[in-house]
């Protein structure tokens, strides 16, 4: 059985639909990544993306979305209840595995 990892990053944009869509496309267009959910929140001005894939694909999907965030999200204009970076550190979780080894290696 292939190793599978879930990634659930949030990005500091919850209102601009074009940016939200561009981030989702960066993930979904990454070979081996499957985008499962996009949850935008206007009050927090954040969007949470849930996607899965092999460890390598998920890392590339997260990096691809982070590159898009760096290009499109202007933190000097950002307002929200909990301001942070444009793309805070994404959490990784194992799927179909009884151990934490793959997510730990992915995070490193």
Q: What is the CATH number of the domain that holds 103?
A: 3.30.990.10
pLDDT of 43: 85
Q: How confident is the model at residue 3 (pLDDT cuts 50, 70, 90)?
A: confident
Q: What is the pTM (predicted TM-score) of this model?
A: 0.80
38-61 pLDDT, tens digit per residue, is 999 988 888 999 999 999 999 999
Q: Are 12 and 78 in contact (CB under 8 A)?
A: yes
Which whole number is the average pLDDT over 25-42? 97
β-partners of residue 6 are: 52, 93
- Domain holding 92, by residue range, is 4-107
pLDDT of 39: 97
Query: Strand 10-11 vs strand 4-7: parallel, antiparallel, or unpaired?
Result: unpaired
Count of domains forming the chain: 1
Q: How many CA atoms lie within 13 A of 6 on its CB side?
A: 11
Q: How far apart are CA 13 and CA 7, in angstroms?
A: 18
What rounded mean pLDDT belongs to the chain? Answer: 83
């Amino acid at each position: 059985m292939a190793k599978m990892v879930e990634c659930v990053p949030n990005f500091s944009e919850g209102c601009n639909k074009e940016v939200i869509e561009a981030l989702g496309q960066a993930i979904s267009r990454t070979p081996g990544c499957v985008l499962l959910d996009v949850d935008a929140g206007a009050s927090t001005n954040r969007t949470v993306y849930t996607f899965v894939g092999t460890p390598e694909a998920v890392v590339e999907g997260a990096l691809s979305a982070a590159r898009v965030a760096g290009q499109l999200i202007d933190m000097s204009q950002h307002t929200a209840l909990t301001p942070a970076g444009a793309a805070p550190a994404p959490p990784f979780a194992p799927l179909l595995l009884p151990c934490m080894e793959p997510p730990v290696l992915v995070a490193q």
